[in-house]
Structure 1
Amino acid sequence: MKYTTLPNTDIKISKICLGTMTFGEQNTEAEGHAQMDYALEKGINFFDTAEMYSVPARQETYGSTEKIIGTWFKKTGKREEIILASKIAGPSPTFTYMRDKMDFSPASIQFALDQSLQRLQTDYIDVYQLHWPERKTNYFGQRGFKVQDDAWEDNIHGVLETLEDFIKQGKINHIGLSNETPWGIMRFLEESKYQNLPRIKTVQNPYSLLNRLFENGSSEVCIRENVGLLAYSPMGFGVLSGKYLSGENLPHARINIFPQYNRYNSPQSVEATRLYQEIAHKNGLTLTELSLAFVTQQAFVTSTIIGATTMEQLKENSATIDVVLSDDILKVINEVQAIIPDPAP
């Protein structure tokens, strides 16, 4: 395994992070435990979860992933060996079963955090993230910002004060953002800098060969401000394994089980995937190796979040840490990006 440090800390984390959103939906507790056992054995010491997981979020499985991680901590006693990240869900009209108000008010953060700690069977979370903004901004499938009727008033100072209180209590060590824009990242950094409040260490956004929108502004912010990207969906919901190109019927594949994530199987995504697979094969690589190595070696990526529904997938994905793409391969990848830019925003 390769390691780096969580930005602006001395905490060593693996360059590959174990994503867990399938635990409790596509994976049983036993399968989740087996994945965590294997990940730690291979040197992966960074696990990511969220209060809303498993995915897709629904009331019946709310918190199931954190519970599975919690029973693994209790069974193994290895909490201190893991850098654990979790998230509080932002406003959503469909997730009201989580708590009375889906916002980042002090009461909501305290309730969400305490519930997560209880499910995880731990006293603290290493990186606590805001899963998406309270304000209306870019959404999945949308490239640009659209002016909308948004009653949100800037409360970032208050949110940071609340998080600071939980840091002082020892319930949180560090904080991060998720599904955030360049403006949002800079706004949090500005408030922490000028008001002496906790500084965000990471932002967790989608980033893959099919979605490189993070490069448009956010990458510069991360490099210049030393904020680390935790890249999620680096395999484009499994599309970048190439398994859908054969036309084979895969009824249990994630993109077929959850058709609402259809941005990854648009005609443009399919064609781009085919071109990337050609590049991989011409260079003696699998498409999985090409896809994950591309993400992991970006200068602004702190850790690449991999998720798997089978041990075979987890083994293949984690092994890509040893793959390094040459400048010639990166050049050809960028040629495809120029022809079919970001087909799965």
Structure 2
Amino acid sequence: MQMKPLGRTGIKVSQLCLGSMTWGSQNTAEEGFEQIERALDAGINFIDTAEMYPTTPMHAKTVGRTERIIGLWHEDRGRRQDYILATKHSGEGMKHRREGAPISAATIPEAIDDSLRRLQTDYIDLYQFHWPNRGSYMFRKNWTYDPSRQDRAATLQNMEDCLGALQREVDRGRIRAFGLSNESAWGTTQWAEAATRTGGPRVATVQNEYSLMCRLYDTDMAEMSANEDVGLLAFSPLAAGLLTGKYQDGKVPEGSRMDINGDLGGRKTTRAFAAVDAYLDIAQRHGLDPVQMALAWCCTRPFMTSVIFGATTMDQLECALGAADLTLSAEVMADIDTAHRAHPMPY
């Protein structure tokens, strides 16, 4: 399992990261425990969660349950020192936490208190802001994104205030590093510059959607990563399960994410299924598992820090783990590039 630097923090994380957003809804606590231990045994040292998980689906009664499951594992196994733990602070509009308040210097200590209590740990390795207060073009909002009404001065002031609060948490030993999620190139760069001005923790990573089918990161964000040493933590690298092929030809397996969440957050389109066919064909022609091909391809990207994948069964987990040992040939990479040109931005 290859290890990658987490920004400029000195922390090293595995190129594959175990996601957890199904624990507490599609998966029981015991199944979560089994996934954690198998992932650690395979060389993964990185687990990602969030205070709002699980999200398959998300309900007021289940919010925070995933962190509680991880906390139960800590209590039962006592292996907190064996891995890097990342979680996230929900922001404006997430009504099940702090009545939907935006992220601010005032909300940070309370949110960390609550996460630490649920996780049954004294510290969080990577503390991430789940989405920016000013809004985001992620989750298909890129089609209508309009930042023209943003208040630049207020945004920069909030960044400085939040970094002050985060630094106090670093000084207390409650967080080790800071990351973003669902951010833009401008936003990420401004966070980095604000850290220089204030002496607060410098952003180490940004967790955005990235897969064979969602490549918004490839231009401005890629340039930001190269120049600012802020790596990508890719979520939905299997396009919410589309790239497994299980939804082709109208199939909707019982209990699957499409069965639970309908259109897969806007990913279910006619063009998406055509793109999946193209990638499945590449995998078949080269004798590859499509899941492993999709994850291994993500790992080749020069801006990638870690690829976050989730599983609801141990068979799915075992398959995903195989991506760590897969090297894609030049022929496979060329075929993938051709397919991408033929099927750009399918959702």
How much does 1:148 deviate? 5.8
Q: Which residue of 1 aligns with 2:81?
A: 80
How much does 1:149 deviate? 4.9
Is 1:327–2:316 an aligned residue pair?
no
Q: Which residue of 2 aligns with 1:286?
A: 289
Instruction: Give 1:67's aligned amino acid.
Output: R
How much does 1:82 deviate? 1.2
Q: Which residue of 1 aligns with 2:37?
A: 37
SS in 1 for 2:9: coil
How much does 1:327 deviate? 2.4
SS in 2 for 1:143: helix
Q: Is the 8 A contact 2:123 2:173 kept in 1?
A: yes
Q: Which residue of 2 aligns with 1:308?
A: 311
Structure 1 stretch displaced more, 13-22 or 330-339: 330-339
How much does 1:194 deviate? 3.2
In structure 1, which of residues 315, 337, 342 is the aligned counterpart of residue 340 of structure 2? 337
Instruction: Give 1:322's aligned amino acid.
Output: D
Q: Distance in 1 between matches of 2:334 and 2:255?
A: 35
How much does 1:140 deviate? 1.4
Instruction: Give 1:46's aligned amino acid.
Output: F
Is 1:168–2:156 an aligned residue pair?
no
Q: Distance in 2 between matches of 1:40 and 1:150?
A: 43
Q: Is the 8 A contact 1:101 1:108 kept in 2?
A: no
Q: Which residue of 2 aligns with 1:142?
A: 141
Q: Distance in 2 between matches of 1:195 and 1:110?
A: 18
Q: Distance in 2 between matches of 1:115 and 1:28?
A: 21
How much does 1:263 deviate? 2.4
Instruction: Give 1:40's aligned amino acid.
Output: L
Q: Which residue of 2 aligns with 1:263?
A: 266
Instruction: Give 2:323's aligned amino acid.
Output: T
Instruction: Give 2:280's aligned amino acid.
Output: Q
Q: Is the 8 A contact 1:90 1:130 kept in 2?
A: yes
Instruction: Give 1:116's aligned amino acid.
Output: S
How much does 1:301 deviate? 0.6
SS in 2 for 1:132: coil
Q: Which residue of 2 aligns with 1:116?
A: 115
Is 1:190–2:193 an aligned residue pair?
yes
Instruction: Give 2:345's aligned amino acid.
Output: D
SS in 2 for 1:230: strand
Is 1:54–2:57 an aligned residue pair?
no
Q: Distance in 2 between matches of 1:319 and 1:336?
A: 23
Q: Which residue of 2 aligns with 1:102?
A: 101
- CA displacement 1:97-151 (0-9 Å, x = unmatched): 3114521222211111100000000010000000000002314113253146556
Q: Which residue of 2 aligns with 1:128?
A: 127
Q: Which residue of 2 aligns with 1:10?
A: 10
Q: Distance in 2 between matches of 1:130 and 1:327?
A: 37
Q: Distance in 1 between matches of 2:149 and 2:262?
A: 29
Structure 1 stretch displaced more, 79-88 or 103-112: 103-112
SS in 1 for 2:296: helix
How much does 1:262 deviate? 4.3
Instruction: Give 2:52's aligned amino acid.
Output: M
Unpaired runs of 5+ residues, structure 1, are: none
Q: Is the 8 A contact 1:73 1:79 kept in 2?
A: yes
Is 1:28–2:31 an aligned residue pair?
no
How much does 1:243 deviate? 1.4
User: Alignment RMSD, CA only?
Assistant: 1.5
Unpaired runs of 5+ residues, structure 2, are: none
Q: Is the 8 A contact 2:311 2:317 kept in 1?
A: yes
SS in 2 for 1:263: coil
Q: Distance in 2 between matches of 1:263 and 1:276?
A: 20
Q: CA 1:35–1:158 in 2, change beyond 3 Å: closer, same or farther?
A: same
TM-score, length of structure 2 as denominator length? 0.95
Q: Is the 8 A contact 1:255 1:262 kept in 2?
A: no
How much does 1:158 deviate? 0.7
How much does 1:343 deviate? 1.4
How much does 1:190 deviate? 1.3
How much does 1:260 deviate? 4.7
Instruction: Give 1:127's aligned amino acid.
Output: L
Q: Which residue of 1 aligns with 2:64?
A: 63
- CA displacement 1:39-96 (0-9 Å, x = unmatched): 111111100000000013221101000000000011111000110000000111xx32
Aligned length: 342
Structure 1 stretch displaced more, 31-40 or 324-333: 324-333
Q: CA 1:20–1:196 in 2, change beyond 3 Å: closer, same or farther?
A: same
Q: What is the identity percentage for the equivalent residue pairs of Structure 1 and Structure 2? A: 39
Q: Is the 8 A contact 2:282 2:336 kept in 1?
A: yes
